[in-house]
Amino acid sequence: MLGPSGCPSIFCLPCFGILIFAHLPGALPCPYNVVFLFGIEHSMRLLIVEDHEVTRDGICLAISREAELEIVGTADNSDAALALARELRPDVILLDLHLPGSLGPKSMVQAFCEIPDCRIVVFSNEHRQAFIDVVMKLGAAAYLLKSEPSRVVIETIRGVCSKDTNPVSPLAARPSTIKLTEAERQLLELFAHGLKYQDIADKRFTTQSTVRKQCDLLLEKLGLENREALIAWAAKNGYGSLDREEGK
């Protein structure tokens, strides 16, 4: 990992700058490599993706006051944003999910999360927990509501690089008293799309009677009366919402 004695080895780490390792000349014998570690700080490079001009200008103004944060670009639609992100390779992207362009929320998050050494901070008005859960599973580093003060936005941007941050907005993170299994969440997503029992059975490679039993268990668990109430509850809580928007 280190170069020959007396020769420095140089590494560039995202968000932390350039690290230089150099052997100590004349060091006492030691079973381990003895090195100096120098950190050459560089600005954290940001791409701001937001289609509302007032919101975008406000965020840019707040960030511009922070010496270690540098805005390298802005975009107001999904296609231009993705092209800029691939060209500029920023450290952090502050990303609105509902943008003009060819990409829907789900495919947009997936595409941005594929950019190497880049953290995605989603910036949205969508507060439904199921929606947030899907976005975080896709690989976002953090999720912020637009109602958060700029101080929280800036702290989160700093924190995602050091991994010293709450990944979900304090205004959105509400402890749930109902614990659902992954299979139950998948079933809710299918109900949210309006699928009937037989359609769900076909997708899950099971029988209609099994789906009915699973539905009854969910109704009891959620304190609901019938399938229609279950569909309404699933839609209200964001199940399947990302997939529905992809089809717009």
What string of DSSP letters covers 162-182?
A: HT-S-SB-TTT----S----H
Number of H-type helices and E-type strands within the chain: 10, 8
The predicted model gives 3-12 an average pLDDT of 51
Q: Is the dihedral of CA 152, 241, 135, 204 positive or negative?
A: positive
pLDDT band at 200 (very low <50, low <70, confident <90, very high): very high
Nearest to 147 by CA among 119, 123, 175, 173: 123
Whether residue 48 sits in one domain with residue 35: no
* Residue 109 scores a pLDDT above 90: yes
Whether residue 138 sits in one domain with residue 81: yes
pLDDT band at 38 (very low <50, low <70, confident <90, very high): very low
Q: What is the pLDDT of residue 118?
A: 95
* Residue 181 scores a pLDDT above 50: yes
Selected residue with higher pLDDT from 29 and 188: 188
Q: Which residues face 45 on adjacent strands?
A: 70
Cα 10 from Cα 244, distance rounded (Å): 47
Q: Pairing state of beta strands 9-13 and 35-40?
A: unpaired
**Token pair 């840019």 in the structure block, residue:** 60
Selected residue with higher pLDDT from 208 and 32: 208
230 occurs within a structural domain = yes
Q: What is the pLDDT of residue 31?
A: 44
Selected residue with higher pLDDT from 75 and 246: 75
Whether residue 209 sits in one domain with residue 154: no
Cα 48 from Cα 179, distance rounded (Å): 35
Q: What is the pLDDT of residue 227?
A: 87
Q: Which domain holds residue 28?
A: 9-40
Whether residue 53 sits in one domain with residue 25: no
Which among 162, 191, 211 is the end of a domain?
A: 162
* Residue 161 scores a pLDDT above 70: yes
The domain tally of the chain equals 3
Tokens of 79: 């296609």
Whether residue 102 sits in one domain with residue 67: yes
Kindly report the pTM of this predicted structure. Answer: 0.62
Whether residue 91 sits in one domain with residue 153: yes
Which among 94, 129, 162 is the end of a domain?
A: 162
Selected residue with higher pLDDT from 195 and 237: 195
Whether residue 155 sits in one domain with residue 68: yes
